[in-house]
Amino acid sequence: MEKEFKNKDFISFLEYLKYQKNYSDYTITSYEHDILEYFQFLQKESLDYKKIEYSDIRFFLMYLKDEKKDDNSSINRKLSSLRSFYKYLANEKIVDTNVFSLVHGPKKSKKLPRYFEYNELEELFGVPDRKTPTGQRDLLILELLYATGVRVGEMVKIKEKDIDFGRKSILILGKGNKERLVHYGEYCEEILKEYLKDGYGSLNPENSPYLFLNHNGKPLTERGIRYILDHLIEKTSIHKKISPHMIRHSFATHLLNEGCDLLTVQKLLGHESIKATQVYTHVTTDRLKEVYYQSFPRARKKDSK
């Protein structure tokens, strides 16, 4: 795929995602892989990406389904990447129209967001060794992810100057360079102060402005955060895969279970649309049942006297 890597329109699109859309490295890599796979298909079929037609896309979908054995979720993700790519090409007048805007992917099976129960998080929080700089850092990673619900791509960009210690808030630079404030509580505050007073100095000999650093004093990457989380959960009795987004799911689910309204959770998560937040509502059935029996006057019969 050496030729495709040098394609100027492809490279310009990736630069657009990085510098104008402010997408994370992890997200950009996902786009890159999806579009490179598409270019491989075009090369195999001797097709020009600038002259692609709807009928060609149908064969591409058959290729993904029958040869690649992709599931519906993967196919839809790849179509989304290509939709964005061709929208960029159309806006830049490289192609006449975004032919992928007419393509509908297969129906996705609805999956419940995976999340941790609170007692599982308590076990996880007990793993890092607070006597070491990396242990303090790792505990802060866990506490901050859970306390704020930030995306991992947002967390690795946090600098010490972004923190308002008096208000217990952090200025986050989210998708599309949009800023929002997130708040943290007393548990997170305790380890944040401990880390900045103690372990942060050991990890930061070059006075980096970033909050989360590796053992070489360089800013942690998204992949580095994922590696740390994988390492931590191996030391627990929890038989679940872990990801930063799963802790974000836990943050949202636990808020709703405790009675927080959906609009507030939307703002805290930084979702542009309420539809993105509504996915969490169906995991709070137990909480709804509890509130119903406590609040509705005819839910239970009163004891006879």
pLDDT at residue 34, rounded to an integer: 94
Kindly name the residue from 137, 248, 249, 254 that is annotated as catalytic.
Answer: 248
* 3-state secondary structure labels for all residues of 9-49: HHHHHHHHHHHCCCCCHHHHHHHHHHHHHHHHHHHHHCCCH
Nearest one of 40, 35, 53, 51 to 3, comparing CA atoms: 40
Quote the CA–CA distance of 79 and 73 in Å, as a whole number.
10
| Eight-state DSSP code of residue 6 | T
Kindly name the residue from 151, 157, 249, 254 that is annotated as catalytic.
Answer: 151
Asked about 151 being catalytic, the answer comes back as yes
Asked about 58 being catalytic, the answer comes back as no
Kindly name the residue from 18, 83, 159, 245 that is annotated as catalytic.
Answer: 245
Residue 154 near residue 258 (C-beta atoms within 8 A): no
Long-range interactions of 32-37: CB distance < 8 A, separation 24+: 34/77, 34/78, 34/81, 34/82, 35/10, 35/81, 35/82, 35/85, 36/1, 36/4, 36/5, 37/78
pTM to 2 decimals?
0.65
Q: Determine the 3-state secondary structure of 168 from DSSP.
A: coil
Residue 180: both structure tokens together: 């929002």
Asked about 175 being catalytic, the answer comes back as yes
For the chain, how big is the Rg over CA atoms in Å?
A: 23
Asked about 114 being catalytic, the answer comes back as no
Q: Going from the N-terminus, what domains does the chain have, and what CATH number goes with each?
A: 2-102 (1.10.150.130), 118-290 (1.10.443.10)
Name the β-bridge partners of 210.
Answer: 159
Kindly name the residue from 175, 218, 226, 240 that is annotated as catalytic.
Answer: 175
pLDDT at residue 23, rounded to an integer: 87
Asked about 280 being catalytic, the answer comes back as yes
Per-residue pLDDT of the chain (305 residues; tens, 9 = 90+): 444 457 899 999 999 999 998 888 888 999 999 999 999 999 889 999 999 988 899 899 999 988 888 888 889 999 999 999 999 999 999 999 999 988 888 876 566 678 999 999 999 999 999 999 999 999 999 999 999 999 999 999 999 999 999 999 999 988 777 889 999 999 999 999 999 999 999 999 999 999 999 999 999 999 999 999 999 999 999 999 999 999 999 999 899 888 888 899 898 888 888 888 887 776 666 656 666 777 777 767 766 44
pLDDT at residue 293, rounded to an integer: 75
Kindly name the residue from 88, 184, 200, 280 that is annotated as catalytic.
Answer: 280
Asked about 302 being catalytic, the answer comes back as no
Kindly name the residue from 83, 130, 271, 287 that is annotated as catalytic.
Answer: 271
Long-range interactions of 163-172: CB distance < 8 A, separation 24+: 163/192, 163/211, 165/193, 172/148, 172/270
